[in-house]
Amino acid sequence: MLTRKGGKGIIKNRMKIGIMGGTFDPIHIGHLVAAEEARAVFGLDKVIFVPNYQPPHKPGVPITDPEHRYAMVLLSIYTNPYFEVSRIEIERGGPSYAIDTVREFKKLYPEAEVYFITGADAIAEILSWKEGKEILQLCKFIAVTRPGYDIERVKEKLRPLDDKVEFLKITEINISSTEIRKRVREGKPIKYLVLDTVENYIYKHGLYSGGK
């Protein structure tokens, strides 16, 4: 975005990027709505989805191969000109610490203001994240909540970080990746909860039917 200031020529406004971090096992319409609302509300120039390789707080919990999760993100976002997907955590391997990811994005976009977007449940534990205090100095957080979510509990917990965490209550879409996996396992429909492309991908590759 360009603006003219004081007749002294053109200066560049600071770019704002959103990092949409998650396991995305699988990505669903709740994630997409959250990213789009965050973009609109916070005036983000783009939102980069970053599927993690290994969620750092869930060692030993079985998750779907990162290449499948990455493919489903790609199939969901390609029609939105403001959305991108990054392989940064997949290529890095090992536990996907948000601090390492934010540092990499700060190198790629040194002038940009960075917002880390993810679920409020995850952000509620931020002080226990690797270098939790440092990451709060590097970027702002957008905590996405669902209908029925006890936002006050998390707000209370994060009170000292008031200026670092913004809450975004998304449209009434009460859906989670856990619920989608369960529905597939039970043979229930997932149409309209995920995009058609993702629904087809899940059935084609037989994901989530084996007891996860």
What is each CA distance from 161 to 17, 27, 35, 176, in whole angstroms? 21, 28, 22, 26
Q: Taking CB under 6 A as the criterion, which residues in 85-114 touch ligand NAP?
A: 96-99
Dist CA 115 CA 117 (whole Å): 6
Contact flag: residue 197 with ligand NAP (CB under 6 A): no
Q: Which stretch binds ligand NAP (CB under 6 A): 9-17, 79-87, 118-126, 159-167?
A: 118-126
Q: Is 104 exposed, middle or buried (0-12, 13-18, 19+ CB in 10 A)?
A: middle
Q: Which stretch binds ligand NAP (CB under 6 A): 9-17, 49-57, 107-115, 190-198?
A: 49-57
Pairing, β 113-119 against β 140-145: parallel
Q: Is the dihedral of CA 98, 104, 108, 113 positive or negative?
A: positive
What is each CA distance from 208 to 75, 170, 190, 212, in whole angstroms? 18, 26, 12, 6
Cis peptide before 147 (omega within 30 of 0): no
Minimum distance of ligand NAP from residue 150's CB (angstroms): 12
Residue 21, H or E segment: strand 16-22
Contact flag: residue 64 with ligand NAP (CB under 6 A): no
- Binding-site member from 16, 18, 21, 201 for ligand NAP (CB under 6 A): 21
Minimum distance of ligand NAP from residue 155's CB (angstroms): 16
Q: Which stretch binds ligand NAP (CB under 6 A): 74-82, 170-178, 195-203, 204-212?
A: 170-178
Minimum distance of ligand NAP from residue 59's CB (angstroms): 11
Contact flag: residue 194 with ligand NAP (CB under 6 A): no
- Binding-site member from 31, 39, 68, 69 for ligand NAP (CB under 6 A): 31
Two structure tokens written together for 210 = 């084996």
The residues binding ligand NAP (CB under 6 A) are 20-23, 30-31, 34, 52, 55-57, 96-99, 117-119, 121-122, 129-130, 144, 176-178
